[in-house]
Amino acid sequence: MRDGEQVEVAAHQVRMGEIVLVKNGAKVPVDGQVVSGTGAIDEASITGESIPVEKTKSDHVFAGTISRGGFLQVMATGIGADTTLARIIHRVEEAQDAKAKTQAFIDRFSKWYTPAVMVLALAAGLISGDVVLGLTLLVIGCPGALVISIPVAIVAGIGRSARNGILIKGGEYLETSAKISAVAVDKTGTLTEGRPVLTDIVVLNPEADRREVLRWAAAAEAGSEHPLARPILDTAREEGVAPEGLPGSVTPVVGKGIVADAHGKRVLIGNVPLLEQYGIVNDAGAAVAANKLAAAGKTPMIVAVDESVLGVIGVADTIREDAPEMIRRLHASGVQKVVMLTGDTRLVAEAIGEAVGIDEIHASLLPEDKLDAVARLQREGHTVAMVGDGVNDAPALATDDIGVAMGAAGSAVAVETADIALMGDNLLKLPEAISLAKRTVNVMRQNIWIALITVVVLLVGVFAGGVTMAIGMLVHEGSVLIVILNAMRLLRNTQGATALSRSERARAAHETGRPVEPATAQSSSELPS
């Protein structure tokens, strides 16, 4: 849209901030934000997922995706080389040029092998006086199949992964991914949905009720940017006890909670150590209620006003449906240990870990603690992959062998910094990436053996007699074709590997028991048994 009129222009002529009309069947030309309309967008080119995604106002769309229905008005936020698709293409091109360790070895081998064949051919021709013998040795000794054995497999593997929404930075990382023996994952936003909701309000003070507990909690959290503040404020608005204005001051206490000055009173929201730090007597009821909530996979927060404990609020995050299946597939792909690294309490972490099948849990961690945990796994001899967002877990991502960014579509930082970027928000893409890496490495090894065995057999045949130049050339070129065809097997579509079957879906629901499934906030003076 220009000057209020529809104008058709080339994609590269679209300017930042302009409104682009996306009709049914059209390809989205820019990265942008939907400002009006609804529609279904096929994002397979970005995320690898074939099911169209419903888009409405404020949702983001990506260049290269296709409208499968509806009508959208999109404000351009990324054009040309600044689009997600362009960054992906750039990364794939760089990745194909980046050499794996095996490729570097083959290159060094070829530098010695080629002169050796030339010397052998010259010596054989001079000693025997048979020029044809020397020429035959020179032709069949050419390491054509050996030279292309690795690059063709890497290009096929990276190309296949990119089509499935898995962006691998280079051949080196592809080869390293095949050796991954330990995976470290964050809890919030990775194993869980990352959208916590308030599930429980436990009243402990007989002079208060649930609305009173919620009102004071919301009054304190109004000045907090912590992710757990939002579900408290949302519930307070729904129940008509939303705070008016901001608290006078908010002091975060690392690892314990916050202290706020609201309506002339000191409000504490946090754990038992926070109460102890401020000299508030903790009756057994608060600790017991908090422990019961934590054991159920919920994050408890004790609410105290001045010197009195009012109650405990429980906030929970929904376990991703595909989390248990991801753990199973990682183990099936050869991963020995899946480790959870979280800043949440141990009881909450253990509840989530038990539900999804985590092997080892490290809770109450600071960012630098996550780095130490990754380093410890490496000292144990593991090749470690750290799954994060590319920003919040930066220290750990910088230390591990392979950094994996989840749901990286639209994030330039994640695409640029991660060794592997999973463009879609699908946990099953992680074991798929590892399996594809293993398949690629196996094909690389097969190609090397095919090339070497062919050369050895031909050389033996020439000296033993029976292998002429014509036969040698035919077999040699045939080996090149076999190497290429073997690598092309990697291009077979394996998208179905990222989908849960009906039986897997049912099993996941049973195993998790939905211990952190969002529920309506309960008014209760005690927790259910």
Task: Place 516 in a pLDDT band, splitting at 50, 70 and 90.
Answer: very low
The catalytically annotated residue of 31, 42, 186, 425 is 186
Task: Place 304 in a pLDDT band, splitting at 50, 70 and 90.
Answer: very high
Select, from the ranges 12-21, 105-114, 382-391, 499-508, the one with the highest average predicted confidence (pLDDT): 12-21
pTM above 0.75, yes or no: no
**pLDDT 10s digits, 402-437:** 888 877 654 555 566 678 888 777 889 999 999 999
pLDDT value of position 320: 86
Instruction: Say which residues have a Cβ less than 8 Å from residue 293's Cβ, sequence separation at least 6.
Output: 200, 202, 299, 300, 312, 314, 527
Separation CA 441–CA 113 (nearest Å): 23
Q: Does 186 qualify as catalytic in the annotation?
A: yes
pLDDT value of position 510: 55
Mean local confidence (pLDDT), 73-97: 72
Task: Place 521 in a pLDDT band, splitting at 50, 70 and 90.
Answer: very low
Domain annotation for the chain: domains and CATH numbers: 11-80 (2.70.150.10), 197-316 (3.40.1110.10)
Q: What is the enclosing helix (H) or strand (E) of 128? A: helix 101-128
Q: Percentage of the chain with pLDDT > 90?
A: 20
- Residues 105-121 as b/e (b if ≥16 CB within 10 A, e otherwise) read ebeeeeeebeeebeeeb
Separation CA 152–CA 160 (nearest Å): 12
Separation CA 327–CA 132 (nearest Å): 61
Mean local confidence (pLDDT), 464-489: 84
Task: Place 517 in a pLDDT band, splitting at 50, 70 and 90.
Answer: very low
Mean local confidence (pLDDT), 484-513: 66
Q: Percentage of the chain with pLDDT > 70?
A: 80
Nearest to 287 by CA among 308, 305, 302: 302
Task: Place 461 in a pLDDT band, splitting at 50, 70 and 90.
Answer: confident
Burial class from Cβ neighbours inside 10 Å (0-12, 13-18, 19+) for residue 257 reads: buried
Task: Place 107 in a pLDDT band, splitting at 50, 70 and 90.
Answer: low
Select, from the ranges 163-177, 328-342, 355-369, the one with the highest average predicted confidence (pLDDT): 328-342
Q: Which of 98-112, 205-219, 400-414 has the lowest mean pLDDT?
A: 98-112
Instruction: Say which residues have a Cβ less than 8 Å from residue 495's Cβ, sequence separation at least 6.
Output: 48, 50, 164
Average pLDDT of the chain, as a whole number: 79
Mean local confidence (pLDDT), 377-388: 88
**pLDDT 10s digits, 333-363:** 999 999 998 877 788 888 889 989 999 999 8
For tokens 């990324």, what's the residue? 78
pLDDT value of position 302: 92
**pLDDT 10s digits, 110-161:** 677 677 777 777 887 777 777 777 777 777 777 777 778 888 898 899 888 8
**pLDDT 10s digits, 229-287:** 889 999 999 999 988 878 888 888 866 888 998 888 999 998 888 888 888 876 668 88
pLDDT value of position 519: 36
For tokens 């901001």, what's the residue? 246
**pLDDT 10s digits, 283-293:** 668 889 988 89
Q: Is the pLDDT of residue 529 over 60?
A: no
Mean local confidence (pLDDT), 155-177: 86
